[in-house]
Amino acid sequence: MIKTAILGYGTVGSGVFEVIRKNKDVIRNKFAEGLEVKYVLDLRDFEDDPVSEVLVHDIDIIINDPEVAIVCETMGGVKPAYDFTRRALESGKSVCTSNKELVEKHGPELLQIAKAHNCSYLFEASVGGGIPIIRPLRTSLAQEEILSITGILNGTTNYILTKMETEGLAFDDVLKRAQEKGYAEKNPDADVLGYDACRKIAILTSLAYGRNVSYSDITTEGITNIKDIDFAYAKKLGATIKLFAKSVKKNDKYYAIVAPFIVSPENPLFSVNGVFNAILVNGNMGGETMYYGKGAGKLATASAVVSDVLDCARHIGKHLEVRWDADKLEISPIDGAVRRFFVRVSDTDETRIRSVFGDIDMVTGVADGECGFVTPEMTEKEYREKAGQYGNVIGMIRMD
């Protein structure tokens, strides 16, 4: 029987406890040795909860128990999760985590420590909740040169955009409803400004190329500037609007961006709605594969943590290699990225628009005194210059 300890009995931690207990027989069917939770660490007490039998308040009990082979770090935050993770790895215990912040900040270092101590540091649950994406990137796609990764990586913003589209509501109204339903935080900035998705695409891009991407190098725009009228334009284009977290390798350069994109039905991400997440990966041999599921939620996230625990349990005493060096992966300035742009202007002077933007596709009849159009392909820099030259721009959304 492989013994594990859970650090933190919050949403994810209690989910991990539940998955391992409820699916005991299922797990034993796939992993004959079986899996058991020996300790749960939390500062609080939980009377009348089955966890009370294994609850401890002192990390040292876990670190000093040689029977504990695997630790689930489900505390979140950097402090004290970082210290606890280090100590566990240094004593040869593998660590599985859902802690995106810690992974983004200290991933390469913690992987090094794991390697040095013949144990593993796995973090499937840190991106895409219950969607298998990190393991497929590491194993199923290891032979692929990754040409691009495009993710809908934040459930809150996808829920808001879906509601804006299907119910014709304004951003603020949907956000308020999402907050009431618990789909959005009281302080929604990390979600709606794109920071959460940015951290996740930084992790995925680091794993795709084996080098470290700093999230601060990634151009990040949220969805707060998306208006209900944008969906009317998108509909005229037969398209929708999604917050994409995207990285691309092109001519040996790497680009990354988090921003709203206009997405056509040909893209399999088009129909990913509500709180669901999905990641579309384009490899140079196998082409496009997509991974879809619940990007958050107690049991989905916990299930992903347990999948990592089982992977470690099958490889006791062995380091599961995750290539993610501390060397920086240079992200090229977004200025050089080439694409089409959907632009809204506060006039309808097609002749002048064409004289500045070239051979555009007009979108009219949505509102009086304005129009929209789709530019030909150009760099982000060219677009910005043309937009400055034209003036009158009241909105821009990138085209996928």
How do 146-152 and 121-122 pair as beta strands?
Answer: unpaired
323 binds its own copies (CB under 8 A): yes
Binding region for its own copies (CB under 8 A) out of 26-34, 57-65, 70-78, 164-172: 26-34
Site for its own copies in 289-318 (CB under 8 A): 289-294, 297, 299-300, 302-304, 306-307, 309-311, 314
Q: How far is 384 from 381, CA to CA, in rounded Å?
A: 5
The token duo for 31 is 């992993």
Q: CB of residue 288 vs its own copies: minimum separation in angstroms?
A: 6
Q: How far is 19 from 27, CA to CA, in rounded Å?
A: 10
Q: How far is 277 from 269, CA to CA, in rounded Å?
A: 9
Site for its own copies in 336-375 (CB under 8 A): none
Report how many residues bind its own copies under the rule CB under 8 A.
58
139 binds its own copies (CB under 8 A): yes
- Closest alpha carbon to 398 in 384, 254, 389: 384
Q: CB of residue 284 vs its own copies: minimum separation in angstroms?
A: 7
Out of 200, 242, 294, 386, which one is annotated catalytic? 200
In the complex with its own copies, which residue's Cβ is closer, 143 or 348? 143
In the complex with its own copies, which residue's Cβ is closer, 139 or 225? 139
Provide the angle, in degrees to the nearest 10, between the axes of the packed helices 380-390 and 350-357. Answer: 140
Q: CB of residue 70 vs its own copies: minimum separation in angstroms?
A: 13
132 binds its own copies (CB under 8 A): yes
User: How many angstroms separate the Cα of 380 from the Cα of each of 216, 253, 336?
Assistant: 19, 15, 6
238 binds its own copies (CB under 8 A): no
Give the residue carrying structure tokens 């215990």.
93
In the complex with its own copies, which residue's Cβ is closer, 143 or 346? 143
Q: CB of residue 309 vs its own copies: minimum separation in angstroms?
A: 8
| Given 287, 365, 376, 391, the residue binding its own copies (CB under 8 A) | 287
Establish whether 24 is a catalytic residue. Answer: no
Binding region for its own copies (CB under 8 A) out of 69-77, 173-181, 271-279, 375-383: 271-279
Q: CB of residue 276 vs its own copies: minimum separation in angstroms?
A: 8
Helix (H, G, I), strand (E, B) or coil at 127: coil
| Given 10, 21, 29, 49, the residue binding its own copies (CB under 8 A) | 29
Q: CB of residue 146 vs its own copies: minimum separation in angstroms?
A: 9
Q: CB of residue 344 vs its own copies: minimum separation in angstroms?
A: 28
123 binds its own copies (CB under 8 A): no
Q: Is the peptide bond before 80 cis (omega within 30 degrees of 0)?
A: yes
Number of other CB atoms surrounding residue 341 within 10 Å = 24
39 binds its own copies (CB under 8 A): no
Residue 21 has phi, psi (to 5 degrees) of -75, -50
| Given 2, 5, 7, 19, the residue binding its own copies (CB under 8 A) | 19
11 binds its own copies (CB under 8 A): no
Binding region for its own copies (CB under 8 A) out of 50-58, 105-113, 168-176, 272-280: 272-280
121 binds its own copies (CB under 8 A): no
CB 236 within 8 A of CB 262: no
Helix (H, G, I), strand (E, B) or coil at 64: coil
219 binds its own copies (CB under 8 A): no
284 binds its own copies (CB under 8 A): yes
Q: CB of residue 228 vs its own copies: minimum separation in angstroms?
A: 22
At 336, the amino acid letter reads: G
At 231, the amino acid letter reads: F
Give the residue carrying structure tokens 């709203």.
260
Q: Where are the beta strands (DSSP E) in the chain?
A: 2-7, 35-41, 55-56, 68-73, 94-97, 121-122, 146-152, 219-220, 240-250, 253-263, 276-283, 287-294, 338-339, 341-345, 361-363, 371-374, 378-379, 393-399
What lies within 8 Å, CB to CB, of 240 at 6+ separation is 161, 165, 231, 234, 262, 263, 270
Query: Interface with its own copies by CB under 8 A: which residues?
Result: 18-20, 22-23, 26-27, 29-31, 124, 130-132, 135-136, 138-145, 210, 265, 268, 270-272, 276, 278, 283-294, 297, 299-300, 302-304, 306-307, 309-311, 314, 321, 323
Q: Which residues are catalytic?
A: 200
